[in-house]
Amino acid sequence: MYSITICSIELRNWLKNYKKSDLYSFFCYTLIGGFMGLFNKIKNIFKKDNDIENKDENIEIKKDEEIKEDFRDESKEKIVEEIKEPKVDKDSVKIYEKGLTKTRENFVSKLINLTNKYNKITEEYFDELEEILIMADVGVNTVMSFMDRLRDRVKKEKIEDLEYLKEVIVDELFIIYVNDEIISSKINESANPPTVILFVGVNGVGKTTTIAKLASKYHDEGKSVMMIAGDTFRAGATKQLEEWANKTESSFVGYEEGADPAAVVFDGLNKALDEKSDVVLIDTAGRLQNKTNLMKELEKINKVIEKVVPGAPHETILIIDATTGQNGISQAKAFKEITNITGIILTKLDGTAKGGIVLAIKEEVGIPVKFIGLGERKEDLQEFDIEKYIYGLFKDMM
Ligand SMILES: Nc1nc2c(ncn2[C@@H]2O[C@H](COP(=O)(O)OP(=O)(O)O)[C@@H](O)[C@H]2O)c(=O)[nH]1
Ligand SMILES: [Mg+2]
């Protein structure tokens, strides 16, 4: 892919020297744009490309030269932005790689051992593979349908080569996630601000810190953020959110412990309207132990939100701690019964060797994962991208 990018840049240069017409610029812009799109295609990520690092360095140097020499007038700035983009992407891929280290070391090393152990594809091979996937928290149902598909494919394509089978495994895991659907990891932002996002999830999963990371992301994008401390149950929760509001330069509404969360939300949303906030992030207490109470509390909060900002909340995000494994899946199922969850943020993927949970959630809960937490820094909260995830997981195998 990188070589294709370089080629497109070279071609553009050549054309530019040849004839400096707007038509050529447009043609090159489209060409580069098209190739950038291709970059995202999974097949390119799985290119047998072990010296990706070196190629990245080369492309950096090329880019700088390009920028210095060629892009002087304003109309070309757009193209510069396009070319700069992979750098951002590269950082993000690195965060995925680092955050998924534990899972990769565990999962991929087992897969490589398995390939080395057998010299042909047998039932024992399939049984061991099944166990590896279950141990990685991919989830029993997901594993079962995956194994069926894999067996079918081995039969149909008469696959005998174990090395090739590894590639087929990666491919099938990707297919299981995508499953012919267009999956959007984008947060649904309202055309008429504020965009209201409600956060739910049990205690300790990372709701408050995720709100802080998102606030910081929106702040960097130049958006104004309001934080509402709807977790009035846990001692210190309001104070903790207030501190994050200060650090991220967000507005804040929060009352004392024990206050009615719906009342806090009501005041917070009205203040957000007054201040013309772009985004409102609402923290809540997730006492799943008492499902009926939690359901009533969330119903009440939702009614208030809808009344103050018709059409809101635009997202109800469930936060799940990836280190809790199958328990996290049970939480997702329980919350789904209680309220209308529109997306999941999976935190602490860096802290588990069982990162297969991402695949299980999609299959077993049916709610898209919008962001994943790959560490404690704000940039470690990454928009979920199945291609980067699969790459982060299998890069040692490619
Ligand atoms: N390693 C790691 N820690 C995280 C991540 N997200 C949250 N945490 C930590 O999880 C702990 C609990 O987070 P908190 O936001 O207070 O959870 P809450 O009770 O759901 O609001 C804190 O120590 C966070 O720093 C993550 O993606 N990776
Ligand atoms: Mg909290």
Give 203 Cα–ligand 1 centroid separation in angstroms. 10
The pTM is what?
A: 0.76
Most informative mutation of 321, 348, 358, 369 for ligand 1 (most atoms within 8 A of CB): 348
Calculate mean pLDDT across residues 38-51.
41
Q: Can you read off the two tokens belonging to residue 198?
A: 């409600």
Calculate mean pLDDT across residues 305-324.
97
**Phi, psi values for residue 313, rounded to 5°:** -75, 145
Q: How confident is the model at residue 94 (pLDDT cuts 50, 70, 90)?
A: very high
Nearest-atom index, ligand 1, CA of 286: 20
**pLDDT over threshold 90, residue 342:** yes
**pLDDT over threshold 90, residue 394:** no
**pLDDT over threshold 50, residue 209:** yes
Give 208 Cα–ligand 1 centroid separation in angstroms. 7
Give 1 Cα–ligand 2 centroid separation in angstroms. 42
Look at ligand 1, atom 11, and give the residue with the nearest C-alpha.
206
Dist. CA 106–CA 209, nearest whole Å: 27
Dist. CA 332–CA 325, nearest whole Å: 11
pLDDT, tens only, 234-260: 889 999 999 999 999 999 999 999 999
pLDDT, tens only, 346-355: 999 999 998 8
Q: Which residues line ligand 1 (CB under 6 A)?
A: 201, 203-209, 347-348, 350-351, 373, 375-376, 380
Most informative mutation of 376, 377, 384 for ligand 1 (most atoms within 8 A of CB): 376
Say which amino acid occupies 76: K
pLDDT at 72: 34
pLDDT, tens only, 343-385: 999 999 999 998 889 888 888 898 999 999 999 999 999 999 9
Most informative mutation of 209, 217, 234, 369 for ligand 1 (most atoms within 8 A of CB): 209
Look at ligand 1, atom 23, and give the residue with the nearest C-alpha.
206
Q: Can you read off the two tokens belonging to residue 344?
A: 């999941």
Q: Which ligand is nearest to the CA of 349?
A: 1
Q: How far is CA 82 from CA 32, 36, 58, 89, in A?
A: 8, 8, 17, 11
Q: Can you read off the two tokens belonging to residue 72?
A: 């002087």
Q: Among the residues of 285-324, which ranges form H helices?
A: 291-308
